[in-house]
Each structure stands twice: as C-alpha cells, then as structure tokens.
C-alpha cells in the first residue's frame, strides 16, 4: 500500500506533481516485478492525477490537507493499519514532502509498516581514533544490548494494539510536515507569480507607450504634411 499526501488546491508550484510522480514511479516499477499496489491518497489533487494515468485509487481523503488535526490522522490510519494487520498487504509506504526548512523541502518515500528492526538506522560515525565508535565497541560491530525486558500480554497482542496508535502518530506527523511544505510551496509560487506579473506590466507598458508614441508621431507628420500641402497650394494661386 502507498499513501500519497498532496494538497486539496493547486497554485503551489510543483508540490503536488512531485509527490504524485514519485508515487507513480513506485507503482510502475513494482508492477514490472510482479508486485501489486493499493493506493490511498490525502488531498483532492491525488485521485484525478492518478486515475488519468490509469492507476486505481482504493481510498481517498479530502478537505484537511492545509490544516490537518489528529482527528484527521485517526481517520486515515485505519485504512493503512487494518489491511496490514489482517495480512491483506505486506508493506505500507508513505510518499510525502518532508519540511527541512523554509527554503528546503524534499519528496520522501519511507516505510511505515512493518516496523523497522532496531538498529536499522544510520550507523554511528567513527570516534576520534577512527577504530571505535562512541560506545567503545569496535567498528562494524553491533552494539550490545544490556538488560532484560518483560512485557505482557504476548507480543502479537501487544503489537495489534500498538500498531494503530503508532500509525496514527506517524501519519499525523507526515500530515503536519506536508501542510507546512504546501504553504511554503504556495508562498514561493505566489511570489514568483507576483514577480512575473510585475515584469509583464513593465513590458506591456513599454509596448503601449511605444505604440502611442508612434501614433502621435504619425498624426503630427500628417498634420505637418497637410499644412505644407495647403501652403504650396496657396503659393501656386
């Protein structure tokens, strides 16, 4: 399953298109390897774009892309977690725009389910000596896990209860970053449109001033020519 987070409105530059094209590439590449995908979208621009390209959208959510709340995330989360827990799907991916700063947003594809194994994150950089990390272990060696944890109920029951909550929190975080990226992209697009409009006004003003000056010059030449013709006619009498 792929969840694509886009906007309900346009006029945001390439914000929507970048996410949807990334989603389309994932599905096309997977289908060449025999993998089937189920698409879920948030935002009005998603279903029309994907259906136009022959991709079926299983479920979509509208009306809150610019101001998402946790209640909105709770509406979306069951569409992802329930099919996974019932083993209808094997993997859940989120394609969205990550907000890095006001000047930098990137389209990101990340795995939501199944949960990544502990220790699969970025490796720790080498320490000052080059041979040991910050924990004193040798380079390339997995960090040791000290202690023992007991938990109840069984792992399967615990995960069945925790996964929906985890998905709700993860989706809410992705919605917030997507909303921030959407507003930033729209501000940038509107600023570019304003600059282009101002430049267009200047260009058209120059063209109209030149045309008006040409018309005035032509009228003056006609008046002067007419006056000269009358003077010549008076002299010939």
Tell me the percentage of the chain whose pLDDT exceeds 90: 43
The confidence band for 142, taking pLDDT boundaries of 50, 70 and 90, is low
- The topology under which CATH files domain 2-116+153-192 is Pyruvate Kinase; Chain: A, domain 1 (3.40.1380)
- Band the pLDDT of 37: cuts 50, 70, 90: very high
What mean pLDDT, rounded, does the chain reach? Answer: 83
Res 91: pLDDT: 93
Q: List alpha helices for the chain, DSSP H.
A: 15-32, 45-52, 70-85, 155-236
Q: What is the Rg, in whole angstroms, of the alpha carbon atoms belonging to the chain?
A: 32
Position 223 pLDDT exceeds 50: yes
pLDDT at residue 148, as a whole number? 65
**CA–CA separation, 116 vs 26, rounded Å?**
20
Residues 92-133 have pLDDT tens digits of 999 999 998 888 889 999 999 887 666 554 333 333 334 444
Contact call for residues 37 and 68 (beta carbons, < 8 A):
no
Task: Return the exposure string of 117-155: e unless at least 16 CB atoms fall within 10 Å of the residue's CB, then b.
Answer: eeeeeeeeeeeeeeeebeeeeeeeeeeeeeeeeeeeeee
Work out the percent of the chain whose per-residue pLDDT is above 70. 86
Spell out the residues 6+ positions from residue 55 whose beta carbon is closer than 8 angstroms to its own. 24, 27, 39
Residues 55-91 pLDDT 10s: 999 999 998 988 999 999 999 999 999 999 888 999 9
CA 57, CA 7: separation in Å to the nearest integer?
16
């Amino acid at each position: 399953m792929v969840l694509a987070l886009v906007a309900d409105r346009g006029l945001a530059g390439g914000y929507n298109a970048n996410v949807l094209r990334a989603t389309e590439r994932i599905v096309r590449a997977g289908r060449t390897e025999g993998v089937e995908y189920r698409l879920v979208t948030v935002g009005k621009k998603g279903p029309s774009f994907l259906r136009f390209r022959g991709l079926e959208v299983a479920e979509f959510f509208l009306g809150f892309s610019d101001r998402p709340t946790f209640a909105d995330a709770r509406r979306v989360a069951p569409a992802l977690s329930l099919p996974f827990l019932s083993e209808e799907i094997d993997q859940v991916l989120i394609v969205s725009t990550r907000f890095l700063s006001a000047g930098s947003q990137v389209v990101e594809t990340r795995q939501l389910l199944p949960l990544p194994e502990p220790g699969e994150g970025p490796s720790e950089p080498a320490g000052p000596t080059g041979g040991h990390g910050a924990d004193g272990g040798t380079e390339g060696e997995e960090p040791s896990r000290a202690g023992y944890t007991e938990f109840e109920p069984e792992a399967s029951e615990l995960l069945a209860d925790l996964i929906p909550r985890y998905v709700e929190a993860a989706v809410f975080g992705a919605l917030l970053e997507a909303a921030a990226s959407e507003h930033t992209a729209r501000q940038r697009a509107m600023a570019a449109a304003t600059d282009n409009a101002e430049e267009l006004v200047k260009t058209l003003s120059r063209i109209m001033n030149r045309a008006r000056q040409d018309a005035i010059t032509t009228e003056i030449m006609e008046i002067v020519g007419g006056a000269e013709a009358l003077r010549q006619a008076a002299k010939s009498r």
